[in-house]
Amino acid sequence: MINNPLIFAATSDIAGKVRGKAFPVADLEKRLKRGVGWTPTNVMITCFDAIADSPFGALGDLLLIPDQDAGVELDFEDGGPVERFMLGDITDLDGKPWDFCTRSLLKVALERLKAAGGVSLVSAFEHEFQFKTGGRQPGEGYGHGGFSARRVFGETLMAALDQSGLGADTIMKEYGVNQYEVTNDPAQDHRSADQAVILREVTRLTAKRLGEDVTFTPIRDPAGVGNGVHIHLSFLDESGAPATYDENGTAGMSKITGSFIAGVLKYLDSIIALTAPSDVSYLRLTPHRWSAAYNNLGFRDREASVRICPVTATDPSSVARQYNFEYRAADAAASPHLALAAIIHAGAQGIEDGLPAPKVTEEDLSILSADELEARGYVRLPETLESALQRFESNQTVCNWFPADFASVYVAHKRGEIAFLNGKDTDARCHAYEEVY
C-alpha cells in the first residue's frame, strides 16, 4: 500500500473556486514557510475554466503559503482517504501580499474597520444548497420527512464540520426543491470566511462520500427560490465587549452599527458585483424571493438586503451579546473572503464618514413607484451582472478600497465569464452554474 498522504494548499479565488496544489504531509514544515508556487494568470481562470483576457500573460511567480490555523484533516472512517486541505495567503516572492489574494484583501479590510471604529468583527455565514441527486420531495419545505430523508447526511456533515474545527450549529430542510440549509458558529476576523470555504468544501465532500451531489449555485430554477448566503455580522470593542447594540439606538443599533450599515446600503449597488457575482445571481435578487432587491435595512424582514436579526435573550447584557445583523445579498459564487472584504470596506467608509443610522423598513418596497423609491433614498439593485460590474468599476470610492489594478482585473475576469455564456438561454445558464458551484 502506498502511504504518502497529501495536503492540498488552497486559495478561495475571485471566481469563488477553491484552487491550489498538493504536497506531501511530510513536507508541511517546509511548505508552511516556503509555500507552493502559484501563477498570476490563475486569477483569470473563470468558474467555467475558460481563461479571461489576462494582463499577466505567461509572466510572474507567486507563492501560496498554507496557514496551519486554516487546516482541515477529515477522516470519514469509511475506508476512503483522509481529506486534508489548508487555506493560505498568496504573496509575491518577497513575501508581500498579492493584490488579488482574497484572504489578504480581507485582512486589510479588517484592519481598516479596526482603525475606523475601534472594533473587530465577529461573523458567520449561513448557507443554503440543493441536492442534485435523490429525486424530488414535494411538500417537504421545513419538513421532518425532508430532514429525515437526509438524516444520515446531516449527521455525517455535522460530525465532519466538527472534525474540521467548525462549531456545527443547525441543519434543516429549506423551502426549495431538495434545498437544505446549514449553519455554523460565528468566528472572529478572517476566520469566519475561512470557515465558510471549509463548510462548502466539507458539505460537497460529505455528499460525495454518501454517493450524492450538492450545489451551492445561486439559483437552479428561475421559477423557484435561490440559494442564499446570509452573512451575520457583529462587533467587539477593544476589550472584547459587544459593541453592536445600544438599547437607545434605532432598532437597537449602536452608533458604529448604524454608520456601518448606512455605509453598506450606500455602496450596496456598487459592491454587489463582488458579493453576488454570477450571471444567475440576479435571477435570485428579485422581489418576493426572500433574498434582496433594494438597498434597505429591514427589522426582522427577510426581503431586506440588510436585516436586523431577532434575539432570544431579554436581559440587556445577553441581548448585547446576541444582537447581530445579516447581509442577504450574497451567494456562494462569491469568495467568502472577497464578499466580506467588500462589505467591511463599505461599512468602514460609513463609519469614517459618520453616516447616520438608516431608517428601518417594514414594508414591501416593490410596490413603490420609481419616484417614491428615489425620494426615500432607495435604489433597485442592479438586475444583471453586467450592470453590477458597471456600477463597481464606475464608483471610484469603491475601487479605491482595493489595490490599483484590482477593479480592472476583476471586471475583465467577470466579462470573460459572461462571454462563456453567450448564446445560452436562462436554463442553460442555470445549468452551467450548478455544475461548477
Site string for Mg ion, 373-412 (x = CB under 5 A): ----------------------------------------
Longest dimension (CA), the chain: 71
Buried-state track 392-426, b at ≥16 Cβ within 10 A, e below 16: bbebeebbebbbeebbebbbbbbebbbebbeeeee
Q: Is the CB of residue 330 less than 8 Å from the CB of residue 237? A: no
Per partner kind, with CB cut-offs from 5 to 8 A, the member of ligand GLU, Mg ion, none near residue 225 is ligand GLU
Nearest CB to ligand GLU, comparing residues 11 and 324: 324
Closest approach of Cβ 92 to ligand GLU, in Å? 38
**Size of the residue set binding ligand GLU (CB under 6 A):** 10
Taking CB under 6 A as the binding criterion, the range among 9-17, 92-100, 223-231, 264-272 that sits at the site for ligand GLU is 223-231
Nearest CB to Mg ion, comparing residues 106 and 330: 330
Per partner kind, with CB cut-offs from 5 to 8 A, the member of ligand GLU, Mg ion, none near residue 19 is none
Closest approach of Cβ 166 to ligand GLU, in Å? 20
- Residue 94 has a CB neighbour count (10 Å cut-off) of 6
Q: Which of 13, 140, 181, 417 binds Mg ion (CB under 5 A)?
A: 181
Taking CB under 6 A as the binding criterion, the range among 54-62, 116-124, 244-252, 283-291 that sits at the site for ligand GLU is 283-291
Whole-angstrom distance, CA of residue 149 vs CA of residue 45: 37
Q: Which of 20, 66, 165, 226 binds ligand GLU (CB under 6 A)?
A: 226
In a 10 Å sphere around its CB, with 0-12 CB exposed, 13-18 middle and 19+ buried, how is residue 95 labelled? Answer: exposed
Nearest CB to ligand GLU, comparing residues 328 and 414: 328
Per partner kind, with CB cut-offs from 5 to 8 A, the member of Mg ion, ligand GLU, none near residue 291 is ligand GLU
Q: Which of residues 314-333 bind ligand GLU (CB under 6 A)?
A: 328
**Size of the residue set binding Mg ion (CB under 5 A):** 1
Q: What's phi and psi for 274, nearest 5 deg?
A: -100, -20
What does each C-alpha distance from 171 to 67, 147, 159, 164, 308 come to in angstroms?
A: 28, 8, 12, 16, 22
**Neighbouring C-alpha atoms within 13 Å toward the C-beta of 6:** 8
Give the per-residue SS3 of 123-160: EEEEEEEEECCCCCCCCCCCCHHHHHHCHHHHHHHHHH
Taking CB under 5 A as the binding criterion, the range among 160-168, 175-183, 330-338, 378-386 that sits at the site for Mg ion is 175-183
Residues in the chain: 437
Taking CB under 6 A as the binding criterion, the range among 7-15, 31-39, 50-58, 282-290 that sits at the site for ligand GLU is 282-290
Q: Which of residues 347-376 bind ligand GLU (CB under 6 A)?
A: none
What distance, in Å, lies between the first and last C-alpha atoms of the chain?
A: 34
Collect all residues with Cβ–Cβ distance below 8 Å to 118 and sequence separation of at least 6: 237, 238
Q: Which of residues 291-310 bind ligand GLU (CB under 6 A)?
A: 291, 302
Per partner kind, with CB cut-offs from 5 to 8 A, the member of ligand GLU, Mg ion, none near residue 414 is none
Nearest CB to ligand GLU, comparing residues 117 and 228: 228
Closest approach of Cβ 126 to Mg ion, in Å? 7
- Contact between 143 and ligand GLU (CB under 6 A)? no
Whole-angstrom distance, CA of residue 282 vs CA of residue 280: 5
Closest approach of Cβ 347 to Mg ion, in Å? 23
Strands (E), 242-341: 297-299, 306-308, 325-330
Whole-angstrom distance, CA of residue 91 vs CA of residue 105: 12
Q: What's phi and psi for 398, nearest 5 deg?
A: -70, -45
Taking CB under 6 A as the binding criterion, the range among 49-57, 102-110, 284-292, 342-350 that sits at the site for ligand GLU is 284-292
Nearest CB to ligand GLU, comparing residues 184 and 291: 291
Nearest CB to Mg ion, comparing residues 181 and 269: 181
For 207, the 3-state DSSP assignment is helix
Q: Are strands 36-38 and 62-74 parallel, antiparallel or unpaired?
A: antiparallel
Collect all residues with Cβ–Cβ distance below 8 Å to 204 and sequence separation of at least 6: 214
Closest approach of Cβ 129 to ligand GLU, in Å? 11
Interface contacts to Mg ion, rule CB under 5 A: 181
Interface contacts to ligand GLU, rule CB under 6 A: 128, 225-226, 228, 284, 289-291, 302, 328
